[in-house]
Amino acid sequence: MSKSAHQRSIRFDNQVVIITGAGRGLGRAYAELIAARGGQIVVNDAGVAKDGSGFDPSVADAVVAEITAKGGSASACYENLEDAAGCRRIVEFAFDQFGRVDALVHNAGLVVFAPLEETDAIWERMMAIGAHAAFHLARAAVPYMRAHEYGRIVLTTSGRAMNVEHCVSGLIAYSAAKMAQVGLMVGLAAELRDTGIRVNAISPVAATRVLRRSAPELLPELVAPGVAFLASSACDKSGAILHASGGRFSASLWGRSKGIDLGPTPASPEEIAVRWQQIVEPTQSA
């Protein structure tokens, strides 16, 4: 390898990376890749079923065993993400085990389909794991990151939640939880902009146990490089959403249309209706 190629290599030597939902699918792929590049991994996974029930510590243990068998460094943590204290304990566990916290990847999520009339039963759980856990984890991790003036936080959103055409019936709670992480990303990125901490989000598509269609080509390993980049020192940008699916990558950076000026006096609702297409027309790039 040439010297210039070596300088471009993304490594995690001496860095501690917390990954939630790291026992299976996407989280496991993230953990294995970052561990292979020198990261010390906290594998958080309670080993629950698809509906969030049960508890199986062997799920996280298996990932730790695989990483350590390959010469990597990892420890398993089984805390429940639905509990704020549990989220704090995950971060404390990382510090107790490895002495620092450099990156947090909140990958864990729950996908339960339910129509609007039946969403009450799952709303609290979906929001707890998708939104509240992200907040409590970040809140616990940031002080450790501030202490050594460096950190990376990667949250998880979904293309299903961002676009009506891509969403399907039954994902109201899921969509709300995933978009809450976008708002959290923006708020954290703004508050931490003058620090060495960067906050971004991944919007992944992969053939995991929650994907309802057969798409074996959508390997989690094809998403993992994007997360490894966002979690690394090579990423010095905050507030971006990286879309990753089957080896294809694109990004969303929030903006707004150019709009039109309807004058200093109140416009009528009818005028808004007539000019709607002009109002929402995207800004054209040069």
The two three-digit tokens of residue 45, written as one number: 């996974």
One of 30, 78, 144, 174 is an active-site residue; which one? 174
* CA count, 13 A, side-chain hemisphere, 189: 20
Contact between 102 and 17 under an 8 Å Cβ cutoff? The reply is yes
- Three-class SS of residue 52? coil
Burial class (CB in 10 A: 0-12, 13-18, 19+), 165: exposed
DSSP codes, 223-277: THHHHHHHTSTT----S-EEEEETTEEEEE-----------SSPPPHHHHHHTHH
SS3 label, residue 200? strand
φ, ψ of residue 235 in degrees (nearest 5): -90, 110
State yes or no: is 30 an active-site residue.
no
Q: Which residue is it, tokens 């507030």?
A: 239
Amino acid letter at 210? V
Active site residues: 174
